[in-house]
Structure 1
Amino acid sequence: MAMLRDVTVLQAAELPEKTDRELREIFNVLRLPTDEAAIGPLLAEHGTRIRGVAVRHAHIDAAMLDRLPALEIISSYSAGLDGIDVESAHARGVVVRNTSRILAEDVADLALALSISATRGLMRGHDFVREGRWGQIAFPLGRSLRSMKTGIIGLGHIGSAVAARLRAIGAATAYSGPRRKPVDLPYFDSVEGLAAWADLLVVTCPAGPETIGLVNHAVLANLGPEGYLVNVSRGTIVDEQALISALAGNRIAGAALDVFENEPFVPDTLRNDPRVVLSPHMGSGTHETRQQMGDSMVAALVEHFESRSA
C-alpha cells in the first residue's frame, strides 16, 4: 500500500488506537483541529489536496465540502450519517460509506434487551430486590414480549437484525419505511399506522431531515396507553417533549432509550421515571464491534483508492 502514502486523508474522528495507527501507516493523515478557529487555516493550506475524510462525529456540510475540491470519499466510523450533508456530497461525486452493517448485531442485541427490560420491568425488579422490598409486597406482572405486536421503524441492517431476533422468540413483527422491502413481513406505509397496530415500537431508522421528530404526539397517541417505545437509533427521531408529555399523561406504558435529543443531557423527567429504561448510547459499545468498525472504515478508504489506482 506504499502508493497510498501520497493520498491525503483528513482524520475528523477520535479512533481506537489500532485504527488510528493503521490510518497513519497507510495514508498521509491530517488531523482536524478541535479548535474551530484553527479549521479554516488548515483547510486553506491543505484543502485542495485532501482526497478522503475519516469521520466519526464531525459536522461536514456543503460549505466544508466546497473547501475540499479534491475530495473523493467520506468514510464514517459510525452508522449514523446525520452529521454529514450526504446529498451535497453525492452531488459533488463524493462516495459516502458507513459501518451500519458491522454494528447491526450488537445494536439489535441491545434493542432486544431494552425491549425486555421495559416490558418486564427488569430495572424496577432490580431495585425491588436491592431495596429489600421482596417478600413485603408482590412485584407487578409484566408483559410477554412474544405475545406483543412489535413495529420496527426502518428495516435496514439494524432493523432487519431486530426483526430476526423477534422472529426467533415468536413475536409478531411488522415494519414501516420509505419503501416496501422484499421480506415476508407486514408493511405499513406510515409510522402512524404502524404505531396503531403495534404494542411495542422500535426505532431503528437513520436520522435525517425527513425523520427528525418522526415519532411525535400523533404516533405516541396511536401507540396508546399500553404501548412501549424503544429507541436505539438517534434521539432526534423521537420528539422528546412529546414523549415526556405522553408519559406524564399515562398515554403510553413505558419507554427504553439508548439515545437522546441533546446527549449527554437527559431531562430529569426521563431520568426519574421508573417506567423509562435508560442507557448511555451504547448500542455498538463492545470491544469487538468498535474495532471492526474501525477496520471497516479504513478498509473502505483503502479499497476506494486502490481501485482508483488500478
Structure 2
Amino acid sequence: MFKHITILQAAELPEKTDRELKEAFTVIGLPKGEAEAAGVLAEHGAAIRGMAVRHAHIDARMLEKLPALEIISSYSAGLDGIDVEAAASRGVSIHNTSKILAQDVADLAVALSISATRGLMRGHDFVRNGNWGRQSFPLGRSLRSLNTGIVGLGHIGSAIAARMGAMGAMGAPVAYFGPRRKPVDHLYIDSIDDLAEWADLLIVTCPASPETIGLIGSSVLEKLGPRGFLVNISRGTIVNEPALIAALAKDGIAGAALDVFEKEPVVPDALRNDPRVVLSPHMGSGTQETRQQMGDRLVEALVTHFSAR
C-alpha cells in the first residue's frame, strides 16, 4: 500500500499489528542497543517518514537524525518518553491511544478503589488463612460516601468520573484538578492541595510531564489525611514513592492502590508488604480486546496520515 514509505518501528507490537504494519509500509526496526540503534539511524534516518512507538525515548537529538519524519504513532496512552515540544516545532504530528484504552483503565481504577476502601485483598487473605469465624473482619468504607478527587480530567479521568459520579454507578461526589476548567458539571478545584484536602479518595489519571512528576508528594498526602485513600493508574513518577511510604508508615493515609510505579517492575518492599496497599502490574489497558484496538489505531493513524498526502 505504502511500500515507498519507510517507518521506524520502536515497539514490540501484537502479532496482527506487526503484520499489518509490515504489509502496509517498509518497516525498519530500531535495535535496543545504543550503538546498534545509532547505526540504524545513521543508515536510514534520512528516509524515515513515520515512527511506530510504545515506550521509546524520542528527544530533540534523535529528531535531528530523522529530517523527513512526519508522524509518530504511539501504541500507548502516555507521551512522557517523547519531547512533544521538539516534535511540534518540527511539524511532526503525534497520535496516541488514550481514548481507546480509557474505558478499561477506568474499570480498573474503580476496581482498585473498591479494593482499597473495602479491604478486598485483606478479606481474601482473611478467609484463605482460616481467620473467618475466629476473628472479626474490620469494616470498610462506602465508596458512594467518599468525596472522589480526580487528578486530570482527560479521556481516562472523564471515564472514571462517569462511573464514580452522581449519575454513575457509584453516586459519589466528584471534583477534579487540572491545568484548566473543563465544560463539565463536576466541581473544579484549581489547587492540587485543595483537592486533596476536599477528597477522601484521590485518583491520579494525569499524564507524566515536567509539571506533574512528583506532584503527589508529602504536602498532598498530608492534606489527604489519615482517612484518605490514594489510587494511581497513570504513571508511577507522578507519585513521590518515598513520601507515600513515609505517609503510610505514620498512618498519614488510610491506604493506597497502585497500578504503576516509579521504577517498574521494581516495587519497594515497604509497598509490597503493606496490607493497606493494593498492587497490580501496570495492567490498566491489559485486556485482549483493548490491546488489539490500540494496535489497530497505531496502524490506522499512519495509514490515514499518508493517505492524505
TM-score per shorter chain, which class? over 0.9
CA distance in 1, matches of 2:304, 2:191: 38
CA distance in 1, matches of 2:117, 2:173: 15
CA-CA distance at 1:224 after TM superposition? 0.4
Structure 1: stretches of 5+ with no match in the other structure: none
Task: Specify the alignment match of 1:116 in structure 2.
Answer: 114
CA distance in 2, matches of 1:245, 1:20: 44
Q: How do 1:2-21 residues align onto structure 2 when only pairs under 5 Å count?
A: 2=1, 4-21=2-19
Task: Specify the alignment match of 1:161 in structure 2.
Answer: 159
CA distance in 2, matches of 1:242, 1:56: 29
CA-CA distance at 1:37 after TM superposition? 1.1
Aligned residue type for 2:203: V
Task: Specify the alignment match of 2:307 in structure 1.
Answer: 306
Q: Secondary structure at the match of 1:196?
A: helix
Task: Specify the alignment match of 2:124 in structure 1.
Answer: 126
CA distance in 1, matches of 2:222, 2:146: 18
CA distance in 1, matches of 2:113, 2:217: 20
CA distance in 2, matches of 1:267, 1:37: 32
Aligned residue type for 1:18: K
Cα deviation, 1:25-50, whole Å, max 9, x if unaligned, reads 00000000122211111111110010
Q: How do 1:1-150 residues align onto structure 2 when only pairs under 5 Å count?
A: 2=1, 4-150=2-148
CA distance in 1, matches of 2:140, 2:39: 58
Q: Secondary structure at the match of 1:7?
A: strand
CA-CA distance at 1:178 after TM superposition? 0.1
CA distance in 2, matches of 1:67, 1:210: 28
Greater than 4 Å deviation, 4+ residue runs: none
CA distance in 2, matches of 1:34, 1:297: 20
CA distance in 2, matches of 1:242, 1:35: 34
Q: Secondary structure at the match of 2:7?
A: strand
CA distance in 2, matches of 1:91, 1:217: 36
CA distance in 1, matches of 2:305, 2:208: 26
CA distance in 2, matches of 1:246, 1:164: 30
CA distance in 1, matches of 2:43, 2:173: 57
CA distance in 1, matches of 2:213, 2:272: 22
Aligned residue type for 1:306: S
Number of equivalent positions: 306
Task: Specify the alignment match of 1:208 in structure 2.
Answer: 209
CA distance in 2, matches of 1:160, 1:178: 15
CA distance in 2, matches of 1:87, 1:189: 25
CA distance in 2, matches of 1:34, 1:253: 41
Task: Specify the alignment match of 2:234 in structure 1.
Answer: 233
CA distance in 1, matches of 2:187, 2:87: 34
Q: Secondary structure at the match of 1:151?
A: strand
CA distance in 2, matches of 1:60, 1:123: 39
Cα deviation, 1:189-240, whole Å, max 9, x if unaligned, reads 1111100000000000000111000001000000000000000000000000
CA-CA distance at 1:88 after TM superposition? 0.5
Task: Specify the alignment match of 1:218 in structure 2.
Answer: 219
CA distance in 2, matches of 1:235, 1:174: 22
TM-score (normalizing by structure 1): 0.98
Q: How do 1:167-186 residues align onto structure 2 when only pairs under 5 Å count?
A: 167=165, 168=168, 169-186=170-187
Q: Secondary structure at the match of 2:161?
A: helix
Task: Specify the alignment match of 2:190 in structure 1.
Answer: 189
CA-CA distance at 1:109 after TM superposition? 0.2
Structure 2: stretches of 5+ with no match in the other structure: none
CA distance in 1, matches of 2:79, 2:271: 26
Q: Secondary structure at the match of 1:5?
A: strand
Task: Specify the alignment match of 2:297 in structure 1.
Answer: 296
> Bigger CA drift: 270-279 or 160-169?
160-169
CA distance in 2, matches of 1:268, 1:178: 34
Aligned residue type for 1:33: P
